[in-house]
Amino acid sequence: MRNAERQSGFTFIELAITVAIVGLLATLVLPMTELVVKRDHEHELRLALREIRTALDAYKKAVNEGRVISEMGKSGYPPQLKVLVDGVTDEKSPDHNSKIYFLRRIPRDPMNPDSSKSDEETWGKRSYESSPDAPEEGDDVFDVYSQATDIGINGVPYKDW
């Protein structure tokens, strides 16, 4: 009866093998978890870029339709991203008191870790007059890009998205 009582538990070898297997599985899962987190951030970046770029295009369309006043000789794009949130007067409204809003808020660049910057400051801005290869800020905001220096899962740097 004593031998039966002693053999009812696990041996040290069995426990060591179990711990080794769990450790091996954990080392395989950790890189996958990092990849999932990176993929989520990239998805957020795509959505934020699409949202801002759609708003920029809607602003330009409103200028072309005469709903927003733009100075002669200007590109017709907003002078800063904040204008998309603050809204502009709809010149085609009967009382000229209505405003057109293009964004509820400026999305934050998910690749920018600096929490001291405002949402607008996390984005790089390209003016209409600057080249796509060397984007520079100017009198308007024609496009936005991520200021992150990392490279995406697809092999393209985030700043080129």
> Residue 156: which pLDDT band, with cuts at 50, 70 and 90?
very high
Report pTM: 0.79
> Residue 14: which pLDDT band, with cuts at 50, 70 and 90?
confident
What pLDDT digit, counting tens, does each position of 45-70 carry? 999 999 999 999 999 999 999 999 88
- Determine whether 51 is exposed, middle or buried from the number of CB atoms within 10 Å of its CB (0-12, 13-18, 19+): middle
| SS3 label, residue 117 | coil
Which whole number is the average pLDDT over 115-128? 93
Contacts of 77 (CB under 8 A, 6+ apart): 56, 59, 60, 63, 128, 140, 141, 142
For the chain, the structural domain boundaries read 33-160
Which whole number is the average pLDDT over 19-40? 87
